Amino acid sequence: MNMPNSFVLRLLVLACVFLQACSKPVPAEEPVRAVKVITVGAEGIQSGLEYAGEVRARTESRLGFRVNGKLLRRQVELGQRVRAGELLAQLDPQDLKLAADGARALLASAQINRDLAQADYKRYKDLRDQNFISAAELERREAALKAAQAQVDQAQAQLAGQGNQASYTNLLADASGVVTSVDAEPGQVLAAGTPVVRIALDGPRDVVFAVPEDKVGLINVGSAVTVQGWASDKQASARVREVAASADPVTRTFLVKVGLDGAAPWPLGATVTVSPKALDRSGPAVIKVPTSALQHDGEKAAVWVVDGATMTVRLQPVVIATADGNEVVLAQGLEPGMRIVSTGVHVLNPGQKVTIYQPKSASAPAPAPAASK
């Protein structure tokens, strides 16, 4: 009797074990996720074109020597500020000094010849007064004197020219400014007019940017633009001062110059963003959401709307009208005042409970250790 009862008991235990193993596990409760939420509102659409520009001096001078020669020394470096009349560079003046010495010697020779011709003329004039010679002979002596005087004048002009040539071995700044380019080094043999340095003169500043061919017709001289600093939040209102009449042969774009009124808030060479008012396409108030808030399902788009009463999310289909920077303009689907999830939309499910994400506050500094006694 004990054996059958024991056997039956074992069968019942094994059946219970098998039944428990075959039963479905209890699903884990879905976690409550913290999400970033934004409140939808209507705002104006800002659609326009921006171009990268550079701050330049309105006047830049490429300075070079007026004579040929070997560059002996250069007294300025890139970025250095110079004053009007300051010495920038020097050529080797030895050859020009020799030429000036030769011109001086020619002048001395011409003066001696003139003095001799003048003495002959005076002597022949006395003889003419005494009727010892003819008038024609006196006229020949007078012509010789005039020719000698002309040679003296020519030699004086040549000497003056050579003197100027010698002074041209010093390159001086025409006006105060900043050296923006150095194009020659000591020891280099330069032809007349070869640029040595480039100076951005003090005074008004321009913002220069390039515009493609399909947009240059919309920008006119005098039209307003907004200039925004790239490395700062400074802004300035300005107007177009010049539009290039022909395209750049390499980039096929047109150069536009914008004159900055008053002192420029950015240094020379600074990068800025230029927004021409003529290319602004601002529109009426619309609903815009960040692109990170969109949930795509094929060609359809939706956003997660947060129900404030139950703190759950639901998927709301939307229709996209256009893009505006990093945001999209919605044609329909949302109303002002709705709260939607702005980031992390790919980890949510319909009806999931959420909490509003709160950024962690900076931890308080640890108290200083007490001084040991």
Predicted confidence (pLDDT) per residue in 59-108, tens digit: 999 999 999 999 999 999 999 999 999 999 999 988 888 888 888 899 89
Give the CA angle between residues 154, 159, 164 to the nearest 5°.
125
- Clarify whether residues 213 and 315 are in a common domain: no
8 A C-beta contact, residue 282 and residue 46:
yes
- Clarify whether residues 174 and 87 are in a common domain: yes
Q: Which of 279, 309, 330 is the last residue of a domain?
A: 279
- The domain tally of the chain equals 4
d(CA 260, CA 279) in angstroms, rounded, equals: 19
Q: Which of 279, 309, 341 is the last residue of a domain?
A: 279
Lateral strand order in the sheet of 170-172 = 170-172, 87-91, 69-74, 189-190
- Clarify whether residues 116 and 225 are in a common domain: no
Mean pLDDT of 140-144: 89
8 A C-beta contact, residue 211 and residue 61:
no
Question: What's the pLDDT score for residue 25?
Answer: 57
Question: What's the pLDDT score for residue 246?
Answer: 93
In a domain, 243, yes or no: yes
In a domain, 10, yes or no: no
Q: Could you tell me the pLDDT band of residue 239, with boundaries at 50, 70 and 90?
A: very high
In a domain, 344, yes or no: yes
In a domain, 341, yes or no: yes
Q: Which residues contact 134 (CB under 8 A, 6 or more apart)?
A: 128
Q: Which of the given ranges, 1-15, 168-182, 274-288, has the highest pLDDT on average?
A: 168-182
- Clarify whether residues 163 and 178 are in a common domain: no
Predicted confidence (pLDDT) per residue in 297-323, tens digit: 777 899 999 988 888 999 989 998 877
Q: Which amino acid is at 174?
A: D
**Domain at 123, CATH number:** 1.10.287
8 A C-beta contact, residue 100 and residue 167:
no
- Clarify whether residues 210 and 275 are in a common domain: yes
| Domain residue limits at 190 | 64-91+169-200
d(CA 208, CA 243) in angstroms, rounded, equals: 10
Question: What's the pLDDT score for residue 364?
Answer: 46
Question: What's the pLDDT score for residue 240?
Answer: 94
Structure token pair of residue 110: 């011409």
**Domain at 244, CATH number:** 2.40.30.170
Predicted confidence (pLDDT) per residue in 273-289, tens digit: 999 988 776 666 778 88
**Domain at 173, CATH number:** 2.40.50.100
Question: What's the pLDDT score for residue 371?
Answer: 46
In a domain, 369, yes or no: no
8 A C-beta contact, residue 179 and residue 169:
no
Segment holding 240, helix H or strand E = strand 235-243
Smallest Cα–Cα separation from 338: which of 266, 287, 296, 300?
287
Q: What length is written for the chain?
A: 373
Lowest-confidence region among 176-180, 210-214, 338-342, 355-359: 355-359
In a domain, 249, yes or no: yes
- Clarify whether residues 37 and 153 are in a common domain: no
- Clarify whether residues 160 and 118 are in a common domain: yes
- Clarify whether residues 258 and 347 are in a common domain: no
- Clarify whether residues 122 and 160 are in a common domain: yes
Question: What's the pLDDT score for residue 77?
Answer: 93
Q: Which of 252, 279, 306 is the last residue of a domain?
A: 279
Q: Which residues of 281-303 are buried (b: 16+ CB within 10 A; e: fewer)?
A: eeeeebbbbeeebbbeeeeebbb
Predicted confidence (pLDDT) per residue in 117-128, tens digit: 899 889 888 888
Measured CA to CA in angstroms, residue 348 lies from 35, 299, 341, 354, 368 at distances of 9, 19, 10, 9, 45
Higher per-residue confidence, 4 vs 230: 230
Smallest Cα–Cα separation from 254: which of 206, 205, 220, 277?
220
- Clarify whether residues 87 and 173 are in a common domain: yes
Pairing of strands 271-276, 51-57: antiparallel
Tell me the three state secondary structure of residue 42.
strand
- Clarify whether residues 288 and 347 are in a common domain: yes
- Clarify whether residues 275 and 181 are in a common domain: no
**Domain at 339, CATH number:** 2.40.420.20
In a domain, 350, yes or no: yes
In a domain, 156, yes or no: yes
8 A C-beta contact, residue 91 and residue 169:
yes
- pTM of the shown model: 0.54
For 152-216, give the DSSP string: HHHHHHHHHHHHHHHHTTEEE-SS-EEEEEE---TT-EE-TT-EEEEEEESS-EEEEEEE-HHHH
Measured CA to CA in angstroms, residue 246 lies from 123, 154, 256, 295 at distances of 73, 48, 11, 47
